[in-house]
Amino acid sequence: MQLNSLRTLLIDELQEIYLAKELIREELGRMISGADAKDLRDAFIRYQEQTMGHLTQLETVFEKLEENPRGGHAYSVKGMIRETEDRMGEGGDPHVVDAALIIAAQRLAHWNIASYGSARTYAAALGKQDVADLLQETLADEKAMDARLTQIGDEVHVEAPSTGH
């Protein structure tokens, strides 16, 4: 798809986000199973629930724009998920594995923050304030989840062994 207009870029970005959210929702299920700390599992459960709501919200956005949500590739998110699965497969100290899962979840959240922030800006520039407002809601959720993961990470890092083989 040639990017010849801001609207085309917005739709392309939203399609990327939509596919990425579907993949993230699935990956969070695996991360819930792989997490040791109860607070982390609870945060991942909350993130997964939010992600399902975000998918519904994106469907509303696509309806408002009269576009199809299908079409993204989500290459970068697929790579982050592959890396997460590799790390989870390595096993090890539960606190260190939890720290690795936090890093992985925050990478995904940061991708979402960048993507939603850009899409929101494009929608506003195109005069689609209703769409921009919906995207802003999700952006706020992603930032709050990132902050929560940082808080949990601060606790997990204290419990993780600093040396070992």
Question: What CA–CA distances, in Å, run from 151 to 55, 126, 156?
Answer: 26, 37, 9
* Cβ 48 vs Cβ 32: under 8 Å: yes
Q: Running DSSP on this structure, what letter comes out for residue 71?
A: -
Alpha-carbon distance 102 to 89, whole Å? Answer: 15
Q: What are phi and psi of 66, to 5 degrees?
A: 55, 50
Alpha-carbon distance 1 to 70, whole Å? Answer: 13
Please report how many Cα atoms fall inside a 13 Å half-sphere around the Cα of residue 137, on the Cβ side: 14
pTM over 0.85: yes
- In this prediction, residue 90 carries a pLDDT of 87
pLDDT digits over 25-56, tens only? 999 999 999 999 999 999 999 999 999 999 99
Per-domain residue ranges for the chain?
6-159
Task: Please choose, from the candidates 106, 137, 89, 134, the residue with its C-alpha nearest in 3D space to the C-alpha of residue 43.
Answer: 106
Give the number of other CB atoms < 10 A from CB of residue 161. 9
Mean pLDDT, rounded, for 132-159: 91
Alpha-carbon distance 79 to 136, whole Å? Answer: 26
- In this prediction, residue 88 carries a pLDDT of 85
According to CATH, the topology of domain 6-159 is Ferritin (1.20.1260)
